[in-house]
Amino acid sequence: MKKIVVASDHAGYHMKMDIIEYLTDLGYHVDDQGCYSDQPCDYADFAHPVAYAVEQDEDIIGVVFCGSGNGINMTVNKHKGIRSAICWNKELSHLARSHNDANICSIPARFVSSSDAKEIVSVFLNTAFEGGRHIARIRKIPL
């Protein structure tokens, strides 16, 4: 079973905690890189450790949360080998994995329900990369 590493800022904290409980109940090992409360903080402080973990181990999947999903997504995508996608519904989650081989799912906590987030994460974790025509496209992403 894949290891999951998660992080959030204050805006995503409660949703992150819901997802940790959900994934733990499913039997996943979840590594929480912070934040650890809903007090204001900077998403980058918690995004970088997730990106480092995913960079170092292709069996690790990241799930990150912030209010819009944008800031934390931009931060993790600065890392080589990271393909993070903002997913606000299950269809985008599916396409992020199947077409883009995304290894981090970024969820906009202020725009999706906890129930939707669980579905997004479930689809992300259970969708395989299709390969094929998508491989050449993925190889063109890094500079």
Work out the pLDDT band at 9, boundaries 50, 70, 90. Answer: very high
Distance CA 76, CA 1 (A): 23
* pLDDT tens by residue, 92-120: 999 999 999 999 999 999 999 999 999 99
Distance CA 47, CA 102 (A): 16
CB 11: neighbour CB atoms within 10 A?
Answer: 23
Short-list 85, 54, 68, CA closest to 12: 68
Q: In the annotation, is 66 catalytic?
A: yes
Work out the pLDDT band at 89, boundaries 50, 70, 90. Answer: very high
The reported pLDDT for the residue numbered 143 is 80
Q: Is the pLDDT of residue 1 over 70?
A: no
The model's pTM: 0.97
Distance CA 122, CA 120 (A): 6
Average pLDDT score over residue span 9-31: 97
Quote the tokens at residue 11: 């805006």
Q: Which of 48, 94, 99, 134 is catalytic?
A: 99
Q: Which of 35, 66, 87, 105 is catalytic?
A: 66
Q: In the annotation, is 35 catalytic?
A: no
* pLDDT tens by residue, 31-73: 999 999 999 999 999 999 999 999 999 999 999 999 999 999 9
Cα Rg, the chain, nearest whole Å: 14
Angle between helices 90-98 and 114-126 (to 10 degrees): 20
